[in-house]
Structure 1
């Protein structure tokens, strides 16, 4: 099929999804709706940083204009919209009247997006990374199914050996607290991401005036943070409250052969806890896992290898896109 992928630019996942679809033999045209040229990029940045309905509306209308052009020019057999809640009703109306196969994949909870049932009802299938949201939508009569995040098995990376626990991502209070807990117990740690960084430009744009008190670095490309996770003693994966779905990191850390420390017991839906990934439910349990990994590298290595095997067998983005395409058959 000729598939139009309409996605945000977020961490280059559009490229990973397109690669997965191409691996399955499809012709893919990609459109990054929040990064379609300099003007669109500027409007998107302003909409995130300036609390103005006028700016937000201008950004949404501009995104929609570009997306409609992409739809007209691509003449696709199918359209996959990733997230997409920033697009206006004009986009969804055009999609409904296009006669093409359609799907939306939501990697955030509905409560943090501006969707209503009428809009989501336009597409053939709504895929959600949130099991709870998928069930709630299905109960309301919408064509919704649960589709977890996955690992980009096509990405190239080089392991970066580091005898520390890493965290890559946004700086939320619980994540910061746990990194400090580990550091206080004498365990080397480091965090990556603009909100952790002490680079003056990062501090200015994130307004995180006070440092976290641990070694911190700026943003990494996805290929580079795959390398950090692959080479570290362990990878901390903290979801915290308000997230029903499991993050991309849940599949990426074991996918690159990293030792994952995750705060979600329901990861057992996808991995065998204790042999393929590690769950912690308290500070002491987290510290115990890390200290055992330091003492028993063979034990840690066995979990890394088993987690990678399971990921490559079941949890890649190619697997996820197989499910999307199957619904279009």
Structure 2
């Protein structure tokens, strides 16, 4: 028998300033396919509803609530009777209040899960602020799921008293990310999509903009919000926000696409972002900055090209032929379809929830 799940996150229906959208969609859709009923609660904030890139799906009920204290309280009351209540990190509106409210309002026999889609940021924040409101709540949650971080994140959450911490990594949704014909709008030698964020900008400068300056004969394409006033070499074209529906075309139209992790993700390692799996799912040739644990997901040299700096990115690009790029992309796609789909992740989540047997006391911290 399927579980009822109340999921409080940033947004399921809009990827606008919401890097977790692809992850949420993959997890929730595949939980629904396994017979679970998910209601996704999201605030009407940051103009996300004005930039929807999908209608309400048939595999989840979406509840958009007012981004006010009363709106949040009504959403918590509406979702309190579920078998599993999930509070995701980075909702962006009343996060601290939500973290406490879902614990106090849930049924006595229900599970409360904190699902951290940016564990490095959460952990660093708690370390730096002894009065952080989430610190005393960590042991009260029955489990913490994270979308990356590996053993370093598991150990860090254990130090804060987590009963159980398990990484549920990003993956590919083959229904959404797959090969498509190239699109002239996105033709380039190297493409990168990512919003301008403080702990990503310097790495973009090194791995993308510096690489462009070192390969003046190559064409570079930058997608994502916030880069409009950024000085760029003349061979870089800025596209702006790339809607989810265009990600396949973007990935298939460039000779290669670049992944650049944020500083915090790179420092913890074992944190492949959604872009890695989107590119692999589309059969694109991926170049990524180096981070610990990448070989768990893709084989460097055969399924992905790894670079230590912008000069290495430029060297990879100069040596890359269309045939070689196609071979790397096809190998990456085969790898993720065999082991890293959201169907795999949903089965993992279901097994974790079944092991808990809906009795919070049965959850124990993993070794």
Residue 246 in structure 1 maps to residue 272 in structure 2 = yes
1:92-131 per-residue CA deviation (whole Å, 9 max, x = no partner) reads 3223x44213322212122257663432223222012222
Specify whether residues 262 and 256 from structure 1 end up closer, same or farther in structure 2 by C-alpha distance, changes over 3 A only: same
CA contact (8 A) 2:191 2:254 kept: yes
Who is 2:54 aligned against?
none
Pair 1:43–1:147, CA change in 2 (3 A): closer
**Per-residue Cα deviation, 1:151-178 (whole angstroms, up to 9, x for no partner):** 2333166443424211101231321343
Query: Is 2:154 the partner of 1:154?
Result: no
Alpha-carbon separation, structure 1, partners of 2:347 and 2:125 = 27
Mean Cα deviation higher: 141-150 or 209-218: 209-218
Task: Please tell me whether residue 299 in structure 1 is matched to residue 299 in structure 2.
Answer: no
In structure 1, the partner of 2:103 is 92
2 CA distance for matches of 1:19 and 1:324? 13
Going by fraction, where is helix more abundant, 1 or 2?
Answer: 1
Separation (CA, whole Å) in 2 of partners of 1:61 and 1:99:
26
Cα separation, 1, equivalents of 2:133 and 2:30: 27
- C-alpha root-mean-square deviation of aligned residues, in Å? 2.8
Q: What is the count of residue pairs matched by the alignment? A: 296
Q: What is the aligned partner in structure 1 of residue 25 from structure 2?
A: 15
The farther-off stretch of 215-224 and 19-28 is: 19-28
Post-superposition offset of 1:25:
2.6
TM-score by length of 2: 0.72
Match of 1:51 in 2: none
Aligned partner of 1:206 in structure 2 is none
> Is residue 24 from structure 1 mapped to residue 34 from structure 2 by the alignment?
yes
Q: Distance in 1 between matches of 2:264 and 2:27?
A: 26
Q: Which residue of 2 aligns with 1:221?
A: 243
Contact persistence 2:188–2:221 (CA under 8 A): no
- 1:133 equivalent to 2:153? Answer yes
Q: Aligned pair 1:78/2:104, yes or no?
A: no
TM-score by length of 1: 0.79
Once the two structures are overlaid, the 10-residue window that deviates more, 114-123 or 240-249, is 114-123
Question: Kindly tell me: are residues 8 and 44 of structure 1, through their superposed partners in 2, closer, same or farther at Cα, counting changes over 3 Å?
Answer: same
| Cα distance in 1, alignment partners of residues 230 and 328 from structure 2 | 36
